[in-house]
Structure 1
Amino acid sequence: MPRTRRPSAQTTAVVLALAEEPSDWRYGYELCRQLDLQAGSVYPILMRLADRGLLETAWEKDAPPGRPPRHLYRLTGPGLALATELAASSAPVRPVTLPRPGWEGA
Structure 2
Amino acid sequence: MVRPRRPSAQTTLVLDALVGDPATWRYGYELGRQVGLKAGSLYPILIRLCDHGLLEAAWEHDPQPGRPARHLYRLTGKGVNWAAEVPGDVSARPAPGRPAAQPRLREA
Shorter-normalised TM range: 0.7 to 0.9
Residue type of the partner of 1:93? S
CA distance in 1, matches of 2:60, 2:40: 21
Distance, in Å, in 1 between the alignment partners of 2:71 and 2:57 is: 7
Letter of the 2:18 counterpart: L
Stretches of structure 2 lacking an aligned partner (at least 5 in a row): 93-108
Task: Give the gaps of 5 or more residues in structure 1.
Answer: 95-106
Alpha-carbon RMSD across the aligned residues, in angstroms, is 1.2
CA deviation vs aligned residue, 1:16-55 (integer Å, no higher than 9, x gap): 1111111100011001100111110000000000011001
Determine the structure 2 residue equivalent to 1:54. Answer: 54
SS at match of 2:91: coil
Calculate the TM-score normalised by the size of structure 2. Answer: 0.81
Please identify the structure whose Cα radius of gyration is greater: 1
Q: Which residue of 2 aligns with 1:72?
A: 72
What is the aligned partner in structure 2 of residue 44 from structure 1?
44
Q: Percent identity?
A: 62
Matched residue count: 92
Name the TM-score, length of structure 1 as normaliser. 0.82
Task: With a CA cutoff of 8 Å and minimum separation of 6, indicate the structure with the bigger relative contact order.
Answer: 2
Instruction: Give how far 1:76 is off.
Output: 0.4
Q: Which amino acid aligns with 1:54?
A: L
Q: CA deviation at 1:74?
A: 0.3
Could you tell me which residue of structure 1 aligns to residue 95 of structure 2? none
Following TM superposition, where does structure 1 have runs of at least 4 consecutive aligned residues deviating by more than 6 angstroms? none
